[in-house]
Structure 1
Amino acid sequence: MNHKVKPTCRKGKNVKIQLIFNPHSGRGKSLKMFPHILKRLRDAGYEVIPHRTMYRFHATEIVKNLNLYETDALVSLGGDGTAFEVLNGIMNNPEKNVPPIALIPVGTGNSFVKDMNIFTVEEGIRALQEGKHKAADVIRFTTDHTPWYFVNNMGFGFVADVSLWSEPYKKLGQTAYAMGVLREMLRLKPIHVTMEIDGQKVEHNANFVYFCNSVWVAGNMKISPNSKFDDGLMEVMVLNAIDRPELFKTFPKVFNGSHIEHPAVKVYQAKHVKVSSDPQKFCNPDGEIFGVTPLEVKILPGMVRYYYLEKPDPSDKDSSR
């Protein structure tokens, strides 16, 4: 749907915030931090209305039914999964005025918020208080005739299979993901992928396909170092089939982004993609496990706004992140 993003949110008194709070984020960190964060915001003069999520996609239901005309800012207190649910609530809310979104990172990965130059809870609160926000593209993907939305990344194949296996062990944090990587390497099988990228048909025998709107995934992996969330384009990354030893050697490079230099990696820039795979594969939009191929994926430029912090001037020795 077509939304009109609200102008810059007022500061302090008379600012109405809808705070979406996932108590399970970050292995319980969110639950521990919630009273402190709520007090900080109210002491700063904000009118804060908290909403505690009780089950999966509850945040989507909450935001979908909010009166956005009477909301100055949305706060997502959680991780990438909570932010994903909040976004889908916004995109399915019938009102056209969309307030800016503040991300306060208390999840396991906290990937997309890093693109906002926010790395800690304190920085998330400070970004809201400073009041600067910028437009971000949204990617719509349609699976089984149903549209969903993400702002970070989505893949299928090896990367989604790792997420699928590690999901029950999420309390172990990055350890669970590392275990999933090792397991799926042992089970590695290529998939046949057919894509229509902005009208051009391509085929790959691939280990995975990733649709990228931003740099980070799984917290500290630079899956798409050249992605920009506000350029009206997505990066479609394909890892063509390589054997286990080569994947084992190449995979660690994802932490600094140098994996894209591998000859088996192909990156397309696109606005609209139709994709199918053989066999059919599960997807992992913004780290969540649902959706299956075939998919239709489309960029929606500048659909929402997120609070951010300015990056410090490297020449200023006294500046902090």
Structure 2
Amino acid sequence: MSNDRDAAERAVPPDSGSVTTGTIVLNPVAGSGDHAPRIHELAERAGYDIHETEGAGDATDLAARAAPETDLLVACGGDGTIQEVLRGASRANALDDVTLGVLPAGTGNNFAGNIGVGSIEEGFDVLTDGEARRVDVGVATAETPGESDRSLPFVNSCVGGLTAEASASTDPDEKSRIGVLAYVVNTFQEAVEFDGIRMEVRTSDGIERQWDGTTTCILVGNGRRFLGDGRTQADMEDGLLEVTIFEGEGALDLAGSATIERLLDDSAADVVRLDTPALEVTVAGEEPATFSLDGEMLTARTLTVETDHQALWLRVGEAYEPNPEPGDESP
């Protein structure tokens, strides 16, 4: 996606002035659901406003209303809450006008970990003292015959196939009770009957490539790197998406193959890796596929994913790497 913003306007984050306003969009039932009192305590000390969600989609509406009136917009919850807050800021056309902050209170908190925010307390420190970086935003547009196109932004990842099906069917109560293990259990349950998806993947730009075949899952990372045995942070500032395709037909052989090792091994013969600023995924057959954008579900026959290069100011912790090398070990 092209970006014509003037370089001078991009040099200073919106919350860099001597007087700033901060607004926290708080999901009080994310993760274990016991973090709200601590958030209120620390927010009062810092002078931030708090708006609590009451149901699905509330974070988007609250963020859309708050974004034009605040310098620092903070998502408190898991990856899904972050996605909703980002969507709200985008809806208000305010991505240029706010700095995004993250307070990890979800089940997995993958994105928060990728940007060096390991706890709520550390998150508040980062909001005041952390570096502001200009990072890429992914934009996925779903097209299905007979339906209106739908576009959503994301910062961490867009996944399709087995992992998206498992995420969609994971019960929220199970997530609260057993945490990340709920995703793992559900993925293995889904894998027993999952037959793969036939699709064609085309990349765009000067490094155009094409792939077609049957895949168990396709993983598109903006903030997240899926392969390698080191840190999971991708390069969020290079304008490229890290695409991983697992080739194969039929259900995963969970008993006979080292499934987890395959997910970590970028040299496996049935793993295809692509780096590209944009791609188009076309699903064969009559049924659309399910894709998960940081927990927000899309169904599409054709999905276009592209980067809005350095479209967002983001407060990051000390462990964040502007130029992570493949295989970098997590701190």
Normalization by structure 2: what TM-score? Answer: 0.82
Match of 1:265 among 268, 271, 279: 271
* 1:167 Cα deviation after fit: 3.5
Q: For residues 98-141 of structure 1, what are the alpha-carbon distances to aligned partners after superposition, in whole Å with 9 as ceiling and x for unaligned?
A: 22111010100111111211111121111112142111111100
Identity level (%): 23
Q: Which residue of 1 aligns with 2:33?
A: 28
- Name the SS of the counterpart of 2:310 in structure 1: strand
Q: Which one-letter code corresponds to 1:244 in the other structure?
A: L
8 Å contact kept, 1:212–1:224: no
* 1:238 Cα deviation after fit: 0.4
Match of 1:304 among 304, 312, 315: 312
Q: Which residue of 1 aligns with 2:134?
A: 135
Q: Which residue of 2 aligns with 1:206?
A: 215
- Name the SS of the counterpart of 1:26 in structure 2: coil
Q: Which one-letter code corresponds to 2:243 in the other structure?
A: V
Q: Which residue of 1 aligns with 2:247?
A: 240
8 Å contact kept, 2:225–2:234: no
* 1:142 Cα deviation after fit: 0.7
Q: Which one-letter code corresponds to 1:28 in the other structure?
A: G
Match of 2:235 among 212, 228, 231: 228
Number of equivalent positions = 302
- Name the SS of the counterpart of 1:117 in structure 2: coil
8 Å contact kept, 2:159–2:293: yes
Normalization by structure 1: what TM-score? Answer: 0.84
Q: Which one-letter code corresponds to 2:28 in the other structure?
A: P
Q: Which residue of 1 aligns with 2:281?
A: 275
Q: For residues 218-273 of structure 1, what are the alpha-carbon distances to aligned partners after superposition, in whole Å with 9 as ceiling and x for unaligned?
A: xxx9799573111110011100006633686332237xx63322110101111121
Q: For residues 156-185 of structure 1, what are the alpha-carbon distances to aligned partners after superposition, in whole Å with 9 as ceiling and x for unaligned?
A: 111111112224432232221121122122
Distance 1:229 1:95, change over 3 A: closer
Q: Work out the CA distance in 1 between the residues paired with 2:94 and 2:248.
A: 45
- Name the SS of the counterpart of 1:307 in structure 2: strand
Q: For residues 184-236 of structure 1, what are the alpha-carbon distances to aligned partners after superposition, in whole Å with 9 as ceiling and x for unaligned?
A: 2211312111122115433122111111112367xxx9799573111110011
Q: Which one-letter code corresponds to 2:25 in the other structure?
A: I
Q: Which one-letter code corresponds to 2:44 in the other structure?
A: R
* 1:18 Cα deviation after fit: 0.9
- Name the SS of the counterpart of 1:82 in structure 2: helix
Q: Which residue of 2 aligns with 1:92?
A: 91
Matched, 1:189 2:195: yes
8 Å contact kept, 2:131–2:315: yes
Q: Work out the CA distance in 2 between the residues paired with 1:48 and 1:229.
A: 27
Q: Work out the CA distance in 2 between the residues paired with 1:302 and 1:247.
A: 43
More helix by share: 1
Q: Which one-letter code corresponds to 1:275 in the other structure?
A: V
Distance 1:248 1:213, change over 3 A: farther
8 Å contact kept, 1:236–1:269: yes
Q: Which residue of 1 aligns with 2:105?
A: 106
Distance 1:227 1:131, change over 3 A: closer
Q: Output aligned runs, 1:5-154, within 5 Å.
A: 7=13, 9-10=15-16, 14-29=19-34, 33-43=35-45, 46-66=46-66, 68=68, 70-95=69-94, 97-144=96-143, 145-154=149-158
Q: Work out the CA distance in 2 between the residues paired with 1:186 and 1:251.
A: 13
Q: Work out the CA distance in 1 between the residues paired with 2:230 and 2:259.
A: 10
Q: Which segments of 5 or more consecutive residues in structure 2 lack a partner in the other structure?
A: 144-148, 322-330
Distance 1:122 1:294, change over 3 A: same
Q: Which one-letter code corresponds to 1:266 in the other structure?
A: V
8 Å contact kept, 1:38–1:48: no
Q: Which one-letter code corresponds to 1:98 in the other structure?
A: D
